[in-house]
């Protein structure tokens, strides 16, 4: 049974009440025709193989001894602790499903949120690390010549890794052998992979805010097509130890692991990578340490490029040390950091020299460093649906979508290009034919990344095969033309460079608290919710732009000459309140809720004063609700259901949005305008 704690709760309720009252098992997304496509494989891994994720036997024993639930739902102590853990995993599964369908940045945000809540304990503690990349990219990258999204990109990389692990036995065997997990339970290995692959993939690019200023300065001089190199003005970082230094606790801790004392993460990772790859690639720890020390301080040694991977690994170590404590970091945490450090340019240009005919060495084998191997493969494969920020990037031709088939221990990737760009593609093919006939007199035409996938040299595939050994997972790449579909991107007129969904959701949940309530008190109330209810509040906030669009309104932080909206009346509510009700119904369906009133009618042997509290807990344990709907629902059916609700219940779907007007103004300086 996939969600074992939910099944245990169902059996307990059946024994308690004499008949099956739930909760039921949440459905798994299935596509019979494409069982091994990206979506099916990734979601199947989370649903079927990550059983008992973060379960706590001590908490379960304490619950049995005391007869008291220790898990949180809408309030503390309403459900068993392990049931809460099951629902947390379901939140991650459903958030990833939504992201795969849309590719939208705010859906990527939900995946980050779930993963951090599950493995770090509280998103609020680490939100700056995640939000900095998204905010910095969207605001600062337009100044660059070449730059594309790394925020949604990282969640796609995460998804690809889950799909490969799920469908490729050879990779699973190498992962298990490397970490000596051959005798571990299947779900234990899967859960370990989910934790450490998530840490590797989701945070492999968080160092980009260090690379972007460097590129901005160089872009200033490249406007007139001046190539970077000697004579270019460039940035370099100094006092890097402010980021890389290890404290005394960490020094002692890692000395126990490696038998050697390190002062910085640079020294630690030089040693770790040399142990893994030094013999295979004939380099010493001294060589690697010299290269890494020069990365931030002497970019001129590396073709005038700054390696964001150096900063990603150092920044992630800081986060892990602060949130988990350096004494609690494992060898696998170090592997995560070294995988991230290797993934961009270190391995390619300073270890394997994959583009140097004379010095080129063998591609990386998965058995040498399974996390690094998978990160480099998925990072290269994920080139579709990436927002182009840079001036030149916006005019280049990149795939808008991709379809994968992971059947037969192989990967077939079909990259879809926008059919409206057919003129650009036809022009490329004409030039390419001319070049094929006379390659000595002409420069090979390029239309990145399309040309890398269709040209004679097949640069896209051959480059991947030079970087990672794909002998046990053959790769086939194809291209296709199709009409662009952008409806799933949730793009509306509303916009703010400063809107942070987390802070916004915290304030929205605390809307009934006095105006003078501190931000800390508001956050404490929000984090007392389970992940399921935190996500629901976040989703309500995320959909605000959609609702405003429906009533011909928008929010912005810029002063504009439109009618200012200070209050939503019943006329507006009649439009967007049914939309909010539909969001609530579909969200609850996805999370396994169903229609029911049993929590109100079942006989309970409790004091009258406790009846309301106990029935509220019973509702969470049965996962049924009197306002829910069952079955495959249309918009019209949900709207009709909304219209039948009592006025008090209808008000829940629109009255909170009047409070949002105040919150937007208070937290982001935003205003609502009507077109």
- Write the DSSP assignment of 86-133 as a string of letters: HHHHHHHHHHHHHHHHH--HHHHHHHHHHHHHHHTS-HHHHHHHHHHH
213 C-beta neighbours (distance < 10 Å), count = 15
Sheet holding 401-405, edge to edge: 401-405, 411-418, 475-482
pLDDT of residue 148: 52
pLDDT of residue 489: 61
Are 151 and 105 within 8 A, CB to CB?
yes
Are 625 and 588 within 8 A, CB to CB?
yes
Torsion sign over Cα 587, 487, 407, 366: negative
pLDDT of residue 590: 93
pLDDT > 50? residue 48 = yes
Nearest 5°: phi and psi at 322?
-70, -40
pLDDT of residue 393: 43
- Nearest by Cα to 215 from 156, 291, 287, 150: 150
How buried is residue 394: exposed, middle or buried, by Cβ count under 10 Å (0-12/13-18/19+)?
middle
Q: Could you tell me the pLDDT band of residue 396, with boundaries at 50, 70 and 90? A: low
Are 198 and 115 within 8 A, CB to CB?
yes
Q: Which residue has the higher pLDDT, 244 or 136?
A: 244
How far is it, in rounded angstroms, from Cα 187 to Cα 193? 10
Least confident of 62-76, 204-218, 379-393: 379-393
Q: Which uninterrupted H or E stretch holds 418?
A: strand 411-418
Least confident of 138-152, 570-584, 627-641: 138-152
Rounded to the nearest integer, the mean pLDDT of the chain is 88
pLDDT > 50? residue 606 = yes
How far is it, in rounded angstroms, from Cα 672 to Cα 196? 42
Instruction: Name 367's Cβ contacts closer than 8 Å, sequence gap at least 6.
Output: 174, 177, 178
Q: At what angle do helices 265-281 and 308-324 cross, to 10 degrees?
A: 120
Strand-pair partners of 71: 79
Least confident of 104-113, 164-173, 219-228, 463-472: 219-228
pLDDT of residue 146: 47
Please, what is the end-to-end C-alpha distance for the chain in angstroms?
52
How far is it, in rounded angstroms, from Cα 175 to Cα 294? 32
SS3 label, residue 50 = coil
Dump pLDDT digits (tens) for 125-156: 666 556 655 555 554 444 444 445 678 899 99
Strand-pair partners of 556: 495, 671
Least confident of 365-379, 466-480, 562-576, 613-627: 562-576
- Nearest by Cα to 544 from 610, 495, 603: 495
Are 532 and 591 within 8 A, CB to CB?
yes
pLDDT of residue 135: 55
Cα dist from 362 to 203, 303, 375, 551, whole Å: 27, 23, 17, 59
Strand-pair partners of 671: 556
Q: How many residues does the chain have?
A: 675
294 C-beta neighbours (distance < 10 Å), count = 15
What tokens does 443 get?
């420069």
How far is it, in rounded angstroms, from Cα 80 to Cα 354? 53
Task: Using CA atoms of 477, 479, 484, 488 in order, give the dihedral in degrees to the nearest 10.
Answer: -10
pLDDT > 80? residue 456 = no
pLDDT of residue 31: 84
pLDDT of residue 109: 87
SS3 label, residue 314 = helix
Q: Could you tell me the pLDDT band of residue 123, with boundaries at 50, 70 and 90? A: low
Nearest 5°: phi and psi at 652?
-65, -25
What tokens does 170 get?
């050879």
The structural domains of the chain, with segments of one domain joined by +, span 1-102, 109-143+169-375, 401-489, 492-593+628-675
How far is it, in rounded angstroms, from Cα 621 to Cα 476? 47
Averaged pLDDT for residues 410-427: 90
pLDDT of residue 392: 44
Are 203 and 113 within 8 A, CB to CB?
no
What's the alpha-carbon Rg for the chain, to the nearest Å? 27
Averaged pLDDT for residues 508-519: 81
What tokens does 659 get?
């409070």
Percentage of the chain exceeding pLDDT 90: 61
Residue-wise DSSP of 436-498: HH-TTTSPPP--TBHHHHHSTT-HHHHHHHHHB--TTS-EEEEEEEE----GGG---S-B-SS
What tokens does 102 get?
């849309």
Averaged pLDDT for residues 228-248: 91
Q: At what angle do helices 186-202 and 151-167 cross, to 10 degrees?
A: 160
Q: Could you tell me the pLDDT band of residue 671, with boundaries at 50, 70 and 90? A: confident
SS3 label, residue 232 = coil
pLDDT > 60? residue 410 = yes
What tokens does 449 get?
């990344």
Q: Could you tell me the pLDDT band of residue 114, with boundaries at 50, 70 and 90? A: very high
How far is it, in rounded angstroms, from Cα 383 to Cα 386? 7
Half-sphere exposure of 57 (CA within 13 A, CB side): 0
Helix %, strand %, coil % of the chain (to 5):
60, 5, 35
For β-strands 553-556 and 624-625, DSSP reports them as unpaired
Torsion sign over Cα 207, 213, 216, 217: negative
Averaged pLDDT for residues 174-201: 96
How far is it, in rounded angstroms, from Cα 220 to Cα 222? 6
516 C-beta neighbours (distance < 10 Å), count = 6
Averaged pLDDT for residues 35-44: 96
Dump pLDDT digits (tens) for 337-393: 999 999 999 999 999 999 998 999 999 999 999 999 999 999 999 988 876 544 444
Cα dist from 200 to 117, 158, 316, 385, 394, whole Å: 16, 8, 9, 21, 28
Percentage of the chain exceeding pLDDT 70: 90
pLDDT > 60? residue 194 = yes
């Amino acid at each position: 049974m996939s969600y074992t704690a939910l099944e245990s709760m169902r059996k307990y309720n059946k024994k308690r009440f004499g008949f099956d009252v739930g909760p039921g098992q949440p459905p798994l997304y299935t596509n019979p025709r494409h069982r091994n496509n990206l979506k099916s494989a990734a979601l199947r891994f989370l649903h079927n193989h990550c059983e008992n994720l973060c379960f706590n036997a001590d908490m379960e024993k304490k619950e049995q001894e005391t007869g008291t639930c220790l898990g949180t739902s809408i309030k503390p102590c309403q459900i068993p602790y392990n049931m809460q853990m099951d629902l947390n995993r379901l939140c991650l599964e459903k958030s990833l499903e939504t992201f795969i369908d849309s590719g939208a940045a705010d859906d990527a945000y939900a995946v980050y949120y779930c993963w951090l809540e599950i493995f770090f304990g509280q998103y609020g503690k680490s939100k700056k690390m995640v939000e900095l990349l998204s905010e910095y990219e969207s605001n600062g990258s337009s100044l660059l010549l070449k730059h594309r999204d790394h925020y949604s990109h990282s969640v796609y990389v995460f998804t690809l890794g889950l799909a490969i692990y799920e469908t490729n036995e050879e990779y699973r065997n190498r992962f298990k052998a490397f970490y000596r997990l051959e005798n571990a339970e299947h779900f234990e290995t899967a859960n370990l992979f989910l934790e450490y692959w998530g840490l590797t993939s989701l945070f492999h690019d968080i160092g980009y805010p260090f690379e972007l200023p460097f590129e901005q300065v160089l872009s200033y001089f490249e406007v007139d097509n001046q190539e970077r190199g000697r004579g270019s003005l460039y940035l370099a970082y100094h006092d890097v130890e402010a980021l890389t230094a290890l404290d005394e606790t960490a020094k002692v801790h890692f000395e126990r692991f490696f038998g050697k004392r390190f002062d910085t993460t640079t020294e630690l990772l030089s040693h770790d990578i040399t142990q893994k790859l030094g013999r295979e690639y004939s380099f010493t720890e001294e060589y690697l340490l010299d290269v890494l020390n020069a990365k931030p301080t002497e970019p001129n040694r590396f073709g005038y490029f700054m390696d964001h991977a150096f900063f990603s690994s150092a920044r992630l170590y800081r986060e892990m040390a602060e949130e988990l404590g350096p004494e609690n970091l494992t060898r696998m945490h170090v592997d995560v950091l070294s995988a991230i450090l290797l993934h961009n340019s270190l391995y390619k240009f300073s270890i394997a020299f994959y583009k140097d005919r004379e010095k080129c060495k063998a591609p990386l084998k998965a058995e040498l460093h399974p996390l690094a191997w998978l990160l480099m493969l998925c990072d290269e494969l994920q080139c579709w649906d990436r927002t182009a920020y840079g001036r030149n990037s916006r005019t280049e031709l990149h795939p808008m979508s991709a379809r994968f088939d992971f059947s037969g221990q192989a990967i077939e990737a079909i990259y879809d290009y926008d059919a409206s760009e057919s003129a650009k593609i036809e022009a490329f093919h004409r030039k390419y034919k001319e070049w094929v006939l006379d390659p000595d007199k002409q420069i090979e035409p390029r239309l990145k990344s399309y040309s890398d996938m269709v040209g004679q040299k097949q640069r896209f595939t051959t480059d991947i095969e030079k970087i990672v050994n794909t002998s046990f997972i053959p790769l086939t790449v194809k291209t296709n033309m199709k009409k662009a579909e952008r409806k799933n991107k949730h793009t509306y007129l509303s916009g703010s460079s400063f809107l942070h969904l987390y802070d916004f959701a915290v304030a929205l949940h605390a809307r009934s608290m006095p105006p003078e309530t501190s931000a800390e008190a508001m956050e404490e109330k929000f984090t007392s919710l389970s992940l399921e209810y935190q996500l629901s509040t976040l989703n309500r906030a995320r959909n605000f732009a959609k609702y405003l669009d429906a009533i011909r309104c928008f929010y912005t932080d810029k002063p504009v000459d439109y009618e200012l909206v200070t209050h939503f009346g019943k006329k507006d509510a009649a439009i967007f309140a049914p939309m909010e009700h539909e969001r609530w119904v579909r969200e609850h369906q996805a999370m396994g809720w169903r229609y029911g009133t049993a929590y109100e009618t079942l006989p309970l042997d409790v004091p009258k004063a406790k009846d309301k509290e106990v029935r509220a807990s019973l509702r969470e344990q049965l996962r049924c609700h009197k306002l829910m709907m069952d079955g495959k629902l249309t918009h019209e059916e949900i709207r009709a259901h909304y219209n039948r609700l009592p006025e008090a219940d209808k008000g829940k779907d629109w009255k909170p949005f009047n409070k949002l007007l105040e919150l937007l103004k208070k937290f982001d300086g935003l205003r609502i305008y009507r077109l």
